[in-house]
């Protein structure tokens, strides 16, 4: 790839990340991204074939830290319930960091053709590790599926994001999910 192309690609992704984070997916138009980045829409579309692909690239770096967050939550103090809740809260925090991302990503769970498929796998893996860790302690009620957890907590995150709920409201819902999943 030519040097100017690399520069443009990075600048576009940076600008897009900033705009999406501030305003949310729907409120940012491709024209706006192009204009802000100082390129034509043609250039934009050569680098990112659709708006969703651009979004995917924009939130890339952010997603990559999710595994570290899972480890951190699991390594924390407290009993299984505390650690599970810590993970749930971190997960919701992640998903709601970019407005509109929670629903888009949770919607794409299980759809291999989605532009977000790679991100979904990352999230699924993180949840799987949490399930494995707690399961080996015998803390979970029967069989708990990582995908099921992704969807449940992703659903909560989507609602929290959309209705702009505070951390207490989010926590009260996560407590329900946690208690529903934990043994005893």
User: Which of DNA, a copy of itself, none does 139 bind, CB closer than 5 to 8 A by kind?
Assistant: none
Whose Cβ is closer to DNA: residue 44's or residue 133's?
44
User: What tokens appear for 106 in the block?
Assistant: 């949770």
User: What tokens appear for 78 in the block?
Assistant: 């407290």
Is 70 within 8 Å of 126 (Cβ atoms)?
yes
* Least distance in angstroms from the C-beta of 160 to DNA: 24
* Least distance in angstroms from the C-beta of 97 to DNA: 20
User: What tokens appear for 70 in the block?
Assistant: 């899972």
Tell which one of 40, 76, 167, 180 touches a copy of itself (CB under 8 A).
180
Tell which one of 14, 46, 65, 68 touches DNA (CB under 7 A).
46
- Between CA 96 and CA 43 the distance in angstroms is 30
User: Which of DNA, a copy of itself, none does 152 bind, CB closer than 5 to 8 A by kind?
Assistant: a copy of itself
Bridge partners of residue 182, in order along the sequence:
140
Tell which one of 109, 126, 131, 139 touches a copy of itself (CB under 8 A).
109
- Between CA 126 and CA 66 the distance in angstroms is 7
How many chain residues bind a copy of itself (CB under 8 A)? 28
Give yes or no for residue 8 binding DNA (CB under 7 A): yes
Residues 149-168 that bind a copy of itself (CB under 8 A): 151-152, 154-156, 158-159, 162-163
User: Which of a copy of itself, DNA, none does 77 bind, CB closer than 5 to 8 A by kind?
Assistant: none
Give yes or no for residue 24 binding a copy of itself (CB under 8 A): no
* Residues found near a copy of itself in the complex (CB under 8 A): 103, 106-107, 109-111, 141, 145, 148, 151-152, 154-156, 158-159, 162-163, 169, 172-173, 175-181
């Amino acid at each position: 790839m030519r040097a100017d192309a690399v520069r443009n690609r990075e600048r576009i992704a940076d600008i897009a990340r900033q705009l999406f984070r501030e305003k949310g997916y729907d409120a940012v138009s491709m024209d706006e991204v192009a204009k802000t980045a100082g390129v034509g829409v043609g250039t934009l579309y050569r680098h990112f074939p659709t708006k969703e692909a651009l979004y995917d690239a924009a939130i890339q770096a952010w997603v990559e830290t999710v595994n570290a967050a899972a480890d951190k939550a699991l390594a924390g103090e407290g009993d299984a319930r505390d650690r599970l809740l810590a993970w749930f809260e971190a997960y919701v925090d992640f998903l709601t960091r970019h407005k509109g991302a929670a629903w888009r990503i949770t919607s794409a769970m299980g759809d291999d053709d989605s532009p977000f498929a790679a991100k979904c796998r990352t999230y699924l893996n993180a949840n799987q590790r949490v399930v494995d860790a707690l399961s080996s302690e015998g803390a979970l009620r029967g069989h708990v599926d990582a995908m099921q957890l992704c969807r449940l907590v992703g659903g909560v995150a989507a609602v929290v994001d959309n209705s702009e709920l505070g951390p207490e409201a989010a926590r009260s819902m996560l407590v329900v999910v946690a208690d529903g999943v934990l043994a005893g």
